[in-house]
């Protein structure tokens, strides 16, 4: 092979050290450009392999799998899987992170199965050693049937051996496939080989699974036909392949990697992990952390909340006196300002909650939580990756549902999406806070804030309901696929305060501006609905009470009842009376279907109509009397029933839309809306009937 130029491609996961190795191999002989038509960077260079042979090297974008999920991955896939691509390599160098072998050889084994000429560069051996991992390179090479060279790309160790190995392996393909998809999908693969006129099981499998390969377009019809007749559903077939591939990889890693004592920060990580992912203490610590979070969110947040509350009472008082009396005054004070105050007051709690979530995420602890909960969640039809959406659901179901995209199993993902809105999101906090303060005394029990304990119970109720529903769905949703859990465990680190701060800022912003818009709009509509009535009903009421003692009080009460809002609330009163709710709560329930947090704004608007004294909603509700008994209206029975309704009902338009978008079907949000409504109604009914 004298002076002949052949092509080498460097492939591997992001951050496996491809570019570092590329630099070590090419030195300064590099060219940087873009792939045609896209903004993915393309790096090529010349390598002098020996005195008489040179090669052109291409540094491919980071890739986890040949089944591409991003533009970067697609670029790599196009080059590696298409013989007619101008960059198709004569030999591929897969760069793997030796300290994370399991994840990094996934791609390698796929490339082996394509029967490509491939050499494994086992990089980051220094880190593996610090982690106490000893890789048996010879055994690995024998098991994989390809050459393996241990290197340290950063220090330039092993580069010469690597070059020699590349020269010696030119023109050789792997000894045997790693995973034979021909056996996994008998019949279909052979037929696909015939259609595509190749003898390459894995390439045919990829083509069957709708991956873009050469010859794929002209054969698409025949391949689709084959999928139908052989009962192959691409996503599921691919999931099955992944599961089988990982179980072979696990076996291989067990045989070739020995775990010794880690050193330095890796030892600290290992020691911490011994405790934090311990099958018993791990859970205890997790529960303790959750408990502390909710205590803090509830008690610390009350200080800024009281401040905001007081401030809004002052502003409303000021504006109500500054503006001339009349409709505009009423709109500004009881419509706009009341709604605005109702939103701002919950910012402290949302900020606290996200501070904790972002902090735990950034330290690396969240990954451990996923790990220890995996087995548990698997029993109920979820998996370890569901814990992040579920926990984020404690803040807001919308981003939580969007984060389910990392769950590769279709069924586990659908179940996670369906149950996530049962987790107590921050929009329920205002409702819970308001009602708990009304019905639960602010006392300490054994040093714990009693209101905090009730709050925590409601978070638990949401979580338990989510688990039970998931369990139910596990046995009702049919699916043939298998799932596999892939989770990386980063080293622990001191969190970056900027990252944490940014997350808090981002979430508060979304709450204020996305949810806030709806809340203000609904507040104004509600103010309108409660300030006007059909026909001349208001005049009639005023006439009727003229000259009576207590006229103003009676006029206001009657007006509210006669208003559009009153009419609507009354319409549903018969249905919600058994739950302990009156028509005013009925109005709040209806408006809450736009967003739960509207509840407080609605209550505050409805109860402030015509009341010339500016008071906080809290005071207003606590002064409320039941007309039948003369006692306080908000008894524990009413409060608990109301909180249960909010715990279960699907009262969030945004979530409904997101679920549709993520599942691509109206069927799922519909099912979700119905089952949650059912849970809400009957749990409230039972609670009220038992407690009252």
CA triplet 385, 386, 390: central angle to 5 degrees? 135
CA distances from 597 to 341, 342, 489, 605, 646 (A): 12, 8, 36, 13, 10
Query: Which span sits near ligand GDP by CB under 6 A: 152-160, 239-247, 373-381, 669-677?
Result: 152-160
CB nearer to Mg ion: pick between 68 and 141: 68
* Window 101-140: contact mask with ligand GDP (x via CB under 6 A): ----------------------xx-xx-------------
Query: Which span sits near ligand GDP by CB under 6 A: 148-156, 374-382, 516-524, 549-557?
Result: 148-156
CA-based R_g, the chain, Å: 32
d(CA 239, CA 235) in angstroms, rounded, equals: 6
Query: Which span sits near Mg ion by CB under 5 A: 16-24, 130-138, 338-346, 378-386?
Result: 16-24
Q: Would you say 487 and 374 are in contact if contact means Cβ atoms under 8 Å apart? A: yes
The CB-of-511 to ligand GDP minimum distance in angstroms stands at 35
* 506's tokens: 């981002």
The CB-of-17 to Mg ion minimum distance in angstroms stands at 8
CB nearer to Mg ion: pick between 19 and 244: 19
Query: Which span sits near ligand GDP by CB under 6 A: 15-23, 366-374, 568-576, 639-647?
Result: 15-23
**Which residues touch 324 (CB under 8 Å, ≥6 apart)?**
none
How does DSSP assign 196-212, residue by residue? HT---HHHHHHHHTT--
Say if strands 448-449 and 444-445 run parallel, antiparallel, or are unpaired: antiparallel
* Window 360-399: contact mask with Mg ion (x via CB under 5 A): ----------------------------------------
CB nearer to ligand GDP: pick between 87 and 180: 87
The CB-of-64 to ligand GDP minimum distance in angstroms stands at 12
Contact flag: residue 17 with ligand GDP (CB under 6 A): yes
d(CA 422, CA 600) in angstroms, rounded, equals: 20
Query: Which span sits near Mg ion by CB under 5 A: 13-21, 166-174, 191-199, 516-524?
Result: 13-21
Q: Which of 8, 11, 16, 242 forms a contact with ligand GDP (CB under 6 A)?
A: 16
Q: Which of 7, 48, 115, 154 forms a contact with ligand GDP (CB under 6 A)?
A: 154
Q: Would you say 594 and 320 are in contact if contact means Cβ atoms under 8 Å apart? A: no
Query: Which span sits near ligand GDP by CB under 6 A: 16-24, 84-92, 193-201, 232-240?
Result: 16-24
* 362's tokens: 């950034």
Contact flag: residue 44 with Mg ion (CB under 5 A): no
The CB-of-40 to ligand GDP minimum distance in angstroms stands at 13
CA distances from 567 to 530, 572, 588 (A): 10, 9, 13
CB nearer to ligand GDP: pick between 127 and 560: 127
CB nearer to Mg ion: pick between 19 and 556: 19
The CB-of-10 to ligand GDP minimum distance in angstroms stands at 8
Binding partner of residue 153 among Mg ion, ligand GDP, none, CB under 5 to 8 Å per kind? ligand GDP
Q: Where are the alpha helices (DSSP H) in 41-151?
A: 71-81, 101-104, 106-113, 125-130, 137-144
CB nearer to ligand GDP: pick between 153 and 469: 153
Contact flag: residue 153 with ligand GDP (CB under 6 A): yes
CB nearer to ligand GDP: pick between 93 and 276: 93
For 288, counting Cβ atoms within 10 Å of its Cβ (0-12 exposed, 13-18 middle, 19+ buried), the class is: exposed
CA triplet 80, 86, 88: central angle to 5 degrees? 25
Q: Would you say 151 and 159 are in contact if contact means Cβ atoms under 8 Å apart? A: yes
> Could you tell me which of 37, 32, 78, 84 has the C-alpha nearest to residue 57?
32
CB nearer to Mg ion: pick between 23 and 608: 23
Binding partner of residue 130 among Mg ion, ligand GDP, none, CB under 5 to 8 Å per kind? none
Q: Which of 2, 6, 10, 19 forms a contact with Mg ion (CB under 5 A)?
A: 19
- Please tell me the count of residues contacting ligand GDP according to CB under 6 A: 16
* 618's tokens: 């809290």
The CB-of-10 to Mg ion minimum distance in angstroms stands at 9
Strands (E) in 213-313, as ranges, are 257-259
Say if strands 41-50 and 30-34 run parallel, antiparallel, or are unpaired: antiparallel
CB nearer to Mg ion: pick between 25 and 439: 25
CB nearer to ligand GDP: pick between 14 and 260: 14
Query: Which span sits near Mg ion by CB under 5 A: 15-23, 44-52, 130-138, 496-504?
Result: 15-23
CB nearer to ligand GDP: pick between 123 and 200: 123
CB nearer to Mg ion: pick between 19 and 320: 19
- Start-to-end Cα distance in the chain: 91
The CB-of-61 to ligand GDP minimum distance in angstroms stands at 9
Which residues from 42-71 bind ligand GDP, rule CB under 6 A?
62
CB nearer to Mg ion: pick between 19 and 30: 19
Q: Would you say 254 and 474 are in contact if contact means Cβ atoms under 8 Å apart? A: no
The CB-of-26 to ligand GDP minimum distance in angstroms stands at 13
d(CA 504, CA 349) in angstroms, rounded, equals: 11
d(CA 198, CA 200) in angstroms, rounded, equals: 6
Q: Would you say 73 and 61 are in contact if contact means Cβ atoms under 8 Å apart? A: yes
Tokens 């969030």 sit on residue? 652
d(CA 277, CA 369) in angstroms, rounded, equals: 8
Binding partner of residue 16 among Mg ion, ligand GDP, none, CB under 5 to 8 Å per kind? ligand GDP
Beta-carbon count within 10 A of 84 CB: 7
Nearest residue to Mg ion by CB is 19
Tokens 């370890």 sit on residue? 384
Binding site for ligand GDP (CB under 6 A): 12, 14-20, 62, 123-124, 126-127, 152-154
Binding site for Mg ion (CB under 5 A): 19
């Amino acid at each position: 092979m004298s002076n002949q130029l052949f092509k080498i491609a460097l492939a591997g996961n992001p951050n496996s050290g491809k570019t570092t190795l590329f630099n070590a191999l090419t030195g300064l002989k590099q060219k940087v450009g873009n792939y045609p038509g896209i903004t993915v960077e393309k790096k090529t260079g010349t390598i002098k392999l020996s005195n008489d042979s040179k090669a052109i090297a291409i540094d491919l974008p980071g890739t986890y799998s040949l089944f591409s999920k991003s533009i970067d991955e697609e670029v790599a896939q196009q080059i590696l899987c298409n013989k007619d691509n101008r960059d198709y390599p004569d030999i591929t160098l897969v760069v793997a992170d030796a300290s994370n072998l399991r994840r990094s050889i996934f791609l390698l084994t796929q490339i082996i199965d394509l029967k490509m000429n491939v050499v494994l560069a086992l990089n980051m051996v220094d880190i593996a050693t610090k982690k106490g991992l000893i890789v048996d390179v010879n055994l690995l090479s024998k098991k994989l049937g390809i050459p393996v060279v241990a290197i340290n790309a950063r220090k330039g160790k092993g580069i010469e051996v690597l070059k020699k190995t590349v020269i010696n392996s030119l023109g050789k393909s792997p000894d045997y496939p790693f995973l034979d998809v021909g056996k996994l999908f008998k019949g279909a693969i052979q037929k696909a080989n015939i259609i595509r006129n190749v003898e390459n099981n894995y390439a045919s499998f990829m083509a069957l699974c709708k991956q873009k390969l050469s010859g794929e377009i002209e054969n698409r019809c025949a391949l689709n036909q084959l999928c139908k007749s052989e009962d192959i559903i691409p996503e599921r077939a691919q999931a099955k392949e992944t599961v089988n591939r990982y179980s072979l990889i696990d076996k291989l890693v067990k045989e070739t990697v020995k775990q010794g004592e880690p050193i330095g920060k890796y030892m600290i990580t290992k020691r911490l992990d011994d405790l934090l992912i311990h099958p018993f203490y791990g859970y205890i610590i997790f529960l303790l952390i959750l408990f502390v979070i909710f205590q803090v969110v509830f008690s610390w947040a009350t200080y800024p909340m009281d401040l905001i509350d007081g401030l809004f009472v002052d502003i409303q008082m000021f504006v109500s006196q500054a503006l001339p009396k009349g409709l505009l005054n009423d709109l500004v004070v009881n419509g706009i300002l009341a709604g605005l105050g109702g939103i701002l007051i919950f910012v402290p709690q949302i900020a606290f909650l996200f501070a904790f979530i972002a902090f735990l995420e950034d330290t690396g602890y969240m990954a451990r939580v996923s790990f220890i909960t995996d087995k548990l969640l698997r029993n109920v039809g979820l998996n370890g990756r569901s814990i992040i959406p579920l926990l984020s659901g404690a803040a807001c179901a919308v981003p939580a549902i969007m984060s389910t995209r990392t769950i590769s199993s279709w069924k586990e993902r659908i179940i996670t999406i369906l149950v996530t809105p049962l987790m107590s999101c921050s929009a329920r906090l205002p409702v819970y806070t308001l009602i708990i303060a009304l019905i639960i005394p602010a006392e300490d029990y054994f040093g714990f804030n009693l209101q905090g304990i009730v709050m925590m119970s409601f978070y638990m109720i949401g979580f338990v309901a989510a688990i039970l529903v998931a369990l139910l769905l596990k046995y009702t949703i049919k699916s043939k696929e298998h799932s596999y859990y892939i989770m990386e465990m980063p080293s622990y680190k001191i969190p970056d305060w900027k990252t944490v701060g940014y997350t808090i800022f981002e979430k508060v912003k979304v709450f204020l501006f996305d949810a806030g818009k709806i809340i203000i709009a609904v507040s104004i509509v509600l103010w309108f609905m409660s300030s006007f009535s059909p026909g001349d009903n208001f005049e009639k009421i005023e006439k009727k009470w003229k000259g009576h003692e207590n006229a103003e009080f009676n006029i206001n009460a009657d007006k509210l009842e006669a208003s559009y809002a009153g009419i609507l609330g009354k319409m549903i009163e018969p249905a919600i009376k058994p739950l302990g709710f009156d028509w005013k709560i009925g109005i709040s329930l209806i408006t809450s279907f736009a967003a739960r947090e509207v509840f407080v704004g609605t209550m505050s608007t409805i109860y402030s109509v015509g009341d010339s004294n500016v008071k906080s909603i809290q005071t207003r509700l606590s002064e409320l009397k039941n007309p039948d008994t003369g006692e306080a209206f908000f008894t524990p029975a009413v409060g608990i029933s109301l909180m249960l309704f909010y715990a279960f009902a699907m009262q969030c338009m945004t979530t409904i839309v997101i679920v549709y978008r993520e599942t691509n079907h109206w069927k799922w949000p519909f099912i979700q809306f119905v089952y949650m409504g059912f849970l809400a109604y009957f749990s409230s009914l039972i609670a009220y009937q038992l407690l009252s």
